[in-house]
Amino acid sequence: MSPYLAGPPLFLFVIVEVFMVVTRFAPSPTGDLHIGGVRTALYCWLHARQHQGVFRLRIEDTDLERSTEASTRVILDGLNWLGLHHDGEIVYQSKRFADYDAIIEQMIARGQAYYCWCTPEELEAMREEQKRLGLPQRYNGKYRDGGEPVPGVTPAVRFKNPLEGSVSWHDKVRGVVTVNNSELDDWVIRRSDGAPTYNFCVVVDDAAAKVSLVIRGEDHVSNTPKQINLYRALGYDVPEFAHVPMILGDDGKRLSKRHGATNVLDYRREGYLPPAILNYLVRLGWAHGDQEIFSMDEMLQYFRIDDVHSAASTFNTEKLRWLNQHYIKESTPEALLPQLLPHFAALGVTADETTVLRAIPHYQERAKTLKEMAEHMAWIFVAPTAFPADAAKKAFKGGETAHLLQDLQTRIAALADVNVETLHDAIAACVEANGVGFGKVGQPARLAVTGGAPSPDLAVTLSLLNTAEILRRLQFAAEYIAQNQG
Ligand code: GLU
């Protein structure tokens, strides 16, 4: 038997190992999951999935004071809601302190890192002096070549950044970026309180996870040369980088709460659908001709991280609402139902699933969000107890209105079978028998049952209620008119 039949030859494993695409999303759990972070996660996810690669999730919770479990929950819920599922175990940096320490100790032993005994006051004085002289504010290398421990001071550990040369990388979004080592200083890899720093952990973890492409916000560009120097010092392969631009609010400032919702879970509460959010975010900073609507399959087919624009993009809520409306229209009522029901609960309305399912097709055309849809449909489950003055003045005017509503009530009560068609006929018969225009019956009847909420064709509207409820609401309105016009 040929040895090849036993399995793929070893060199194939080697090739797979070398070329495996690995991306990661590495949020810090110190607040909400920002919509900009979600776009980064989406780009990482798309790039990994396009290349049959791996998409990892790492929670960067080394800042024990600012990191919270609640924030980690928000991140996991948000990604899960959007379907941006990661591969493998989630890495929590807070559980890796021993690994970081071991590497730091090795670096000290190899002379790649050193203890710095400077006190905070000394460092502050250093910065003040540099400021005064108009120099860039950097650590002056005082302990780079050794020095005596200072009693009472717990030392930080600093990385020996190369003094000469420069660091260069070809950023997939920004092109070639070059930074001279003279612009960098010996940065801290472990603070005096024992906490390893972001720039250190990120390198150790990305190398351990064999990340091939780091996709992150451009606010990290200035960290990248420091990280590349550390990769080299530790003998790790340097990954590729793509720094995606910021998302701005309509005033040109970085998108923040001042501009409205930035937490992705607020978008769920507002009634946005995951495909609308993902479609909106993929286009924010990337284009494929002038196509606006992208199914998940199309995103996977067309998206290229190299084509992401380097200029910042502006968040446009109206466009997101437009896309959301599109996806609401495209969905089946069955798919919308479970997503819509929580919005009734949020309004304090007890909704009946079967009725909601029947009503959805009549509301899909106009609602821009599921919250709006639930608000528009709430009348089905909450009978009016009063009527908006303006609407009542218009719809209930004329001495015969109460009588017309009662006549319609009688006709509906007499129906053997109540459905859209028979209701339609009952309305038509009422109009005809009383010799009035359709509006004379239609307008007050609609207001009577809906209390003024947006509603479909009158017969359809009535059909969303059971017969007893239709009659009760028509009767209530007739009495209301009698009382208020009395
Ligand atoms: N934890 C960093 C952040 O939330 C991410 C850093 C990275 O992706 O390298 O900004």
Which residue, judged by its Cα, is nearest atom 10 of ligand 1? 27
Instruction: Please state, as a whole number, how many other Cβ atoms lie within 10 Å of the Cβ of residue 162.
Output: 13
Close Cβ partners of 181 (under 8 Å, ≥ 6 residues apart):
161, 162, 163, 164, 165, 166, 167, 225, 229
Which residue, judged by its Cα, is nearest atom 2 of ligand 1? 27
**Ligand 1 binding pocket includes 271 (Cβ within 6 Å):** no
H/E stretch holding 243: strand 240-244
**Ligand 1 binding pocket includes 26 (Cβ within 6 Å):** yes
User: Which residue among 213, 220, 247 is best mutated to probe the pocket of ligand 1, counting the most ligand atoms within 8 A of its Cβ?
Assistant: 220
pLDDT-derived band at 40 (thresholds 50, 70, 90) equals very high
Instruction: Please state, as a whole number, how many other Cβ atoms lie within 10 Å of the Cβ of residue 186.
Output: 21
pLDDT-derived band at 6 (thresholds 50, 70, 90) equals low
- Of the listed ranges 11-15, 301-305, 377-381, 425-429, the least confidently predicted one is 11-15
pLDDT-derived band at 4 (thresholds 50, 70, 90) equals very low
Ligand 1 atom with the smallest distance to the CA of 40 is 8
Residue 92: strand pairing partners:
59
Amino acid at 477: A
Binding positions: 257
Ligand 1 atom with the smallest distance to the CA of 37 is 4
Radius of gyration of the chain from its Cα atoms, rounded to whole angstroms: 32
Residue 12: the pLDDT is 59
Q: Using the mean position of ligand 1's atoms as its centre, give its distance from the Cα of residue 23 in Å.
A: 13
DSSP secondary structure string for all residues of 325-363 = HHHHHHS-HHHHHHHHHHHHHHHT----HHHHHHHHHHH
Q: Report the C-alpha gap between 360 and 459 in whole angstroms.
A: 16
Q: Report the C-alpha gap between 55 and 214 in whole angstroms.
A: 11
The vertex-438 CA angle with 435 and 439, nearest 5°, equals: 120
Residue 3: the pLDDT is 42
What tokens appear for 284 in the block?
């924010």
pLDDT-derived band at 17 (thresholds 50, 70, 90) equals low
What tokens appear for 47 in the block?
């790039």
Q: How many residues does the chain have?
A: 486
**Ligand 1 binding pocket includes 218 (Cβ within 6 Å):** no
Edge to edge, the sheet with strand 54-59 lists 22-25, 54-59, 91-92
Residue 124: the pLDDT is 95
**Ligand 1 binding pocket includes 60 (Cβ within 6 Å):** yes
pLDDT digit string, tens, across residues 199-254: 999 999 999 999 999 999 999 999 999 999 999 999 999 999 999 999 999 888 99
The vertex-434 CA angle with 433 and 439, nearest 5°, equals: 115
Reply yes or no on whether the pLDDT at 155 is more than 80: yes
Positive or negative torsion for Cα 327, 330, 336, 342: positive
Residue 257: the pLDDT is 85
Q: Which of 95, 131, 253, 257 is catalytic?
A: 257
- Of the listed ranges 108-112, 255-259, 298-302, the least confidently predicted one is 255-259
Reply yes or no on whether the pLDDT at 91 is more than 60: yes
CB 356, CB 340: distance < 8 Å: yes
Assess whether 172 carries a catalytic annotation: no
Q: Report the C-alpha gap between 162 and 180 in whole angstroms.
A: 10
Residue 129: the pLDDT is 94
Q: Using the mean position of ligand 1's atoms as its centre, give its distance from the Cα of residue 118 in Å.
A: 28
Binding positions for ATP: 257
Q: How far apart are the first and last CA of the chain?
A: 102
Close Cβ partners of 417 (under 8 Å, ≥ 6 residues apart):
none
Which residue, judged by its Cα, is nearest atom 6 of ligand 1? 26
